[in-house]
Structure 1
Amino acid sequence: MARLPVHTVETAPEAAKPRVEAALKANGFIPNLIGVLANAPEALAFYQEVGKLNAANSLTPGEVEVVQIIAAKTNECGFCVAGHTKIATLKKLLSEKGVQASRNLNPAEFDDAKLAALAAFTQAVMAKKGAVSDAELQAFLDAGYNKQQSVEVVMGVALATLCNYTNNLAQTDINPELRDYA
């Protein structure tokens, strides 16, 4: 059971209700993360707006999911690991091997060298709080990414950190719709 309220459309603060309703409409259910973020309407707005920006960046949708799964796994957020595994799997954004490599935090397991470089770079960004070495940045660039995308990885990690830390704080239960991907 979560340590913070998990709001529904009916119980959410007025400022959060439209965003909770939008999540229900988009997903067919209210992810418990949304219900928890509704405790702070500005945090929910931040999550949804930065999420849109993150989805519109120059990384492919599969690359975005690599960053999100690695961040969630690194931050020990089972809820977000499950959610992003479901997205990557059902939308076929990553191969099964790519999903497992991300979940295992093991770039060597990827069947795609470019995704392996992204995974390694994401892990370095997280481990070093952004202060990656010149060699780590260069390996990312040499894999076919660009400097804009290095900042987009940081943006993805920042978004994931809000979600992961909020779930860890709240001890958010994984929705039944996500449990098969936990």
Structure 2
Amino acid sequence: MSRLPLHTLETAPEASRPFLEKSLAANGFLPNLVASLANAPTALETYLSVGAINARASLTLAEREVVQITAAGIHGCGFCVAGHTAVALKKAQLPEALLNAIRDQDKLSDARLDAVAVFTRAIIATRGAVSDAKLAAFKAAGFDDAAALEVVLGVSLATLCNFSNNLSQNELNPQLAAYRWEPKAKAA
């Protein structure tokens, strides 16, 4: 059970209702993340606005999903890993084996996507202060300065979602149950 109220169109603060309607129309259901963010209309607006801005980035959908799943895994947000797994499979058409490697924070068979995952982990680990070598490796994979900043944008969006879900302790919606994720146990 979520720690914060999960709002519906009827119970949400007036300022959150248009955003709930938009999310319901886009998803066909109201994700518990959105229902809990409705407690703070500005947080909900920020999430949807930044998400729309992130979708306009030069990074491909697959690359943006690598950022989202990588960040969510690091942040321990099973809800977001599941939600972005659904997008990665259904919309970005990522192969299941590649997706499992992303979820497990393993090396990816696709060199370009692996560069995105490695750079995302470096951005999070260093709070953006990546080494010259990490930035050069990202650029050597075919990315530019704009893409590097778009990874930061994606991490920022993920942080809002991941931390909100972790705070709320949102349960996974039934529509996302098939994509459930638990962190892989690391050998000691």
Using the size of structure 1 for normalisation, the TM-score is: 0.97
Determine which of 131, 134, 144 is the counterpart of 2:132: 134
Please, which runs of 5 or more residues in structure 2 have no aligned partner?
Answer: 181-188
Paired residue total: 180
**Which residue identity does 2:110 align to in structure 1?**
D
Alpha-carbon distance in 1 for matches of 2:51, 2:137: 27
Alpha-carbon distance in 2 for matches of 1:143, 1:22: 36
Determine which of 163, 166, 170 is the counterpart of 1:165: 163
Map of 1:98 onto structure 2 = 98
Per-residue CA deviation, residues 130-159 of structure 1 (Å, 9 max, x unaligned), is 110000000000000111000000000000
Alpha-carbon distance in 2 for matches of 1:48, 1:21: 12
**Which residue identity does 1:46 align to in structure 2?**
T
**Which residue identity does 1:34 align to in structure 2?**
V
> Mapping of 1:27-38 within 5 angstroms?
27-38=27-38
What is the SS of the residue equivalent to 2:14? Answer: coil
Alpha-carbon distance in 2 for matches of 1:93, 1:159: 22
Per-residue CA deviation, residues 77-128 of structure 1 (Å, 9 max, x unaligned), is 000000000010112432222211110111x2x2211111111000000111
Q: Does structure 1 conserve the Cα–Cα contact (< 8 Å) formed by 2:34 and 2:44? A: yes
Determine which of 99, 113, 116 is the counterpart of 2:114: 116
Alpha-carbon distance in 1 for matches of 2:17, 2:112: 40
Deviation at 1:52, TM superposition (A): 0.3
What is the SS of the residue equivalent to 2:174? Answer: coil
Per-residue CA deviation, residues 4-54 of structure 1 (Å, 9 max, x unaligned), is 001111111000001101111111100000001000000000000000000
Using the size of structure 2 for normalisation, the TM-score is: 0.94
Map of 1:145 onto structure 2 = 143
RMSD, aligned α-carbons: 0.8
Question: Where has structure 1 moved over 2 Å in runs of 4 or more?
Answer: none
Alpha-carbon distance in 2 for matches of 1:93, 1:18: 30
**Which residue identity does 1:48 align to in structure 2?**
L
What is the SS of the residue equivalent to 1:145? Answer: coil
Please, which runs of 5 or more residues in structure 1 have no aligned partner?
Answer: none
Map of 2:49 onto structure 1 = 49
Alpha-carbon distance in 1 for matches of 2:171, 2:161: 13
Q: Does structure 2 conserve the Cα–Cα contact (< 8 Å) formed by 1:61 and 1:93? A: no
Q: Does structure 1 conserve the Cα–Cα contact (< 8 Å) formed by 2:61 and 2:92? A: no
